[in-house]
Structure formats: structure tokens, C-alpha cells
Amino acid sequence: MFASGRTQIITSKEAKPGVSQASLKTTDVGSRKGKMAVLPFKIITNMPSVDQESIGRQIQSDCANSIREEAPMIDVIDTRIVNATLAKNNISVESLDLMLPKDLAILLGVEHVVLGSYDIENTGTRSTGSSVTTYNEKKGNKKDKGVAVSSGSSTTSDTFDSRITMDIYNDQGSSIYSVSRKPFSSGLDKYHSTINYLVKRAPFGSKR
């Protein structure tokens, strides 16, 4: 309340996802040099029972570990620090597509950021079977003299159509690596070997 009797009500605004200029780190280019942050992978699927957050963070961790093994000269930021920083700034995995890679790199204090997605669709089931015929009461080696007994077995498995995408940007916002590839084998958890394959062929990889 003012001396004149006038009052002013101040209300706080609800925090919205995103990075404000005030929240961006003021680290310079030199302090970010050689550092890399792998962000949680976005999971795109038609399977509602899949824990997308858990799998996205598992691929994030696997990718970070693969980069450490392939390029030990790169300082890969702990994924727990990355995720805590994102949460503190109200940044969800879904909102990463709406953010500038440059802003993410500055926020995380790194020279490079790794963004990715795992698109996996359950396309149905496939059955495979086999049949075996045996002969009882055989006379000598002649199978046509006995009684034929047939037995069979079949298995049913899910089929998937999947693709892994990986993008690496520098702290200037430029893309230095962008690739998309189908996993080598089918299945929800069959991404690890493909992640290693893509990392080895990144600009810092041994198969570049």
C-alpha cells in the first residue's frame, strides 16, 4: 500500500519450460572446449506400455559410455548432471525439439550436444514351426514298413520396425553429424550395437 492509499498486487508467473537468457551459463568458448553432453533420447512408439522415459535415459547412458570408450579425449558430462540441469530449467524430452542446440550447449557448459531418437513400432507377430516324423515298428532300414508318427512345435514372436537417429551439434548451433539407421536386430532392447556403430562413425570415431 502506498501513502496515497493506492495498493498494488504482485503475482508470480508460473514457470514455463524453456531456457531464458538469464538462466544460460556465461561460460566462454574456452571453458566449454572438449566437453560433450548426451541428452535423453526421445522414444517414438505405438506401444503404450513402454516406459519411454526409462528407455530414453538408458540409451542416453549407453551412448555416453560408448563415446567415452571410443574417444577418451572427450570430456563427456555425467548424464545425471545433464538430466538434473534440464529438470531445473523445466526442459522435458518432448520440448528438446523446440530448443536451439546452441542454447542447450551453453546451458550445459559444453562444446557439443548429442540429440537422438529411437523410433520403434510393433508391427504384429510372426509364427515359426517345425515338424518331425518318426517311424515305429520299423523292419530293417525300410521306413515305409513302419507306422509314421508326426509331431510339431511352433513359436510366436513380436515383429518390430525401428530406427535410431543421432545428431551432434556444436555450441555455435552447427550440425557436425547427422545419421539414421535401422538396428541390426529386431527388438525393443536391440539398440546397443547400433549405438556403438554410429558412435564409431562420428567425426571423433575410429571408423570415420
Which is nearest to 159 in space by CA: 187, 191, 128, 182? 187
Instruction: Determine which of 47-51, 60-64, 173-177, 201-205 has the lowest per-residue pLDDT on average.
Output: 47-51
CA–CA distance from 5 to each of 2, 9, 191 (Å)?
A: 5, 13, 67
Q: pLDDT value at position 55?
A: 95
Kindly give the residue spans of alpha helices, DSSP state H, lying in 1-75.
29-32, 52-70
Q: Please say if the pLDDT value at position 14 is more than 70.
A: no
Instruction: Determine which of 23-37, 66-80, 85-99, 152-166 has the lowest per-residue pLDDT on average.
Output: 152-166
Percent of the chain with pLDDT over 70: 71
Query: Do the beta carbons of residue 112 and residue 171 sit within 8 Å?
Result: yes
Grid cell listed for 122: 510393433
Which residues are CB-neighbours of 41 under 8 A, at least 6 positions away? 55, 56, 57, 59, 60, 63, 93, 116, 117, 118
Q: Please say if the pLDDT value at position 11 is more than 50.
A: no
Q: pLDDT value at position 161?
A: 85
**Per-residue pLDDT tens digits for 58-90:** 999 999 999 999 999 999 999 999 999 999 999
Q: pLDDT value at position 93?
A: 95
For residues 168-189, average pLDDT: 91
Q: pLDDT value at position 132?
A: 56
Where on the phi/psi map is residue 137: left (φ > 0), alpha (ψ -120 to 50), or beta? left
Global confidence as pTM: 0.74
**How many residues does the structure list for the chain?**
208
**Per-residue pLDDT tens digits for 96-153:** 999 999 999 999 999 999 999 999 998 776 666 555 555 555 555 554 555 555 555 6
∠ Cα 10 15 20 (to 5°)? 105
